Amino acid sequence: MKFKKPTMKARDIGRLFGESSHTINQWLEQADLLDEKSKLPTFFARQNGYCKQVMVDGYNHDYWMPEKTVPRLIGHGHPLVIDLPDDLVQPIELIGPFQWRGKTIVNSDGDPVAFLNNPKNAEFTCRLLNAAHKAGTIDRCLHSQ
């Protein structure tokens, strides 16, 4: 997944998950990225590039680096919304081969490309996508526009 913004506040990250900034801050605490008492990024988050200080109107503000923060939250079991906001995320390319993980189909980059209502439907749809990928149908359809 490619993000349009290099840094994001908790509110923007929340839009990716369909949650409030308050909930995102709780998740960041659970992921050891935000200190529960000070509500500031942890030493671990700062040292490992999960956040960045940005000067705004003469004051330093902590912003999250979505390339690192979003995958960590996903890894802690928090799913993204199905319809990702266009102002925050570049459209995801269909790059095969595909895999299914539960109800989600991911492309070869690991980006989610489809969310289905149950794992059986995800498996079936994934098999169809892989057959179309193997036959070159997806590339022909995408590049014929």
Which pLDDT score, from 0 to 100, does residue 145 have? 57
Place of tokens 């199905």: 82
Please check the confidence at residue 144 and state whether its pLDDT lies above 80: no
Please check the confidence at residue 142 and state whether its pLDDT lies above 80: no
Residue 86 lies in a domain: no
Please check the confidence at residue 82 and state whether its pLDDT lies above 80: no
Q: Are residues 19 and 71 in the same domain?
A: yes
Residue 75: both structure tokens together: 């890894």
Residue 43: both structure tokens together: 């030493």
Mean pLDDT of 117-124: 93
pLDDT in tens, 8-17: 999 999 999 9
Residue 121 lies in a domain: yes
Mean pLDDT of 90-113: 88
Of 8, 28, 5, whose CA–CA distance to 87 is shortest? 5
Instruction: Tell me the three state secondary structure of residue 133.
Output: helix
Q: Are residues 51 and 103 in the same domain?
A: no
Residue 115 lies in a domain: yes
DSSP 34-89: B-TTT-SB-HHHHHTTSEEEEEETTEEEEEE-HHHHHHHHHHTT-PPPSS--TTTB
Rounded to two decimals, what is the model's pTM? 0.75
Residue 84 lies in a domain: no
Phi-psi region of 136 (alpha: psi -120 to 50; beta: other; left: phi over 0): left
Residue 91 lies in a domain: no
Q: Are residues 67 and 124 in the same domain?
A: no
pLDDT in tens, 17-70: 999 999 999 999 999 999 999 999 999 999 999 999 988 888 889 999 999 999
Place of tokens 């994934």: 126
Is it true that the peptide bond before 97 is cis, omega within 30 degrees of 0? yes
Please give the residue range of the domain that contains residue 18: 10-75
Q: Are residues 30 and 70 in the same domain?
A: yes
Instruction: Tell me the three state secondary structure of residue 33.
Output: coil
Domain count, the chain: 2
Q: Using CB atoms within 10 Å of the CB of residue 142, give its burial: 0 to 12 exposed, 13 to 18 middle, 19+ buried.
A: exposed
Phi-psi region of 58 (alpha: psi -120 to 50; beta: other; left: phi over 0): left
Residue 94 lies in a domain: no
Residue 105 lies in a domain: yes
Q: Are residues 17 and 56 in the same domain?
A: yes
Residue 80 lies in a domain: no
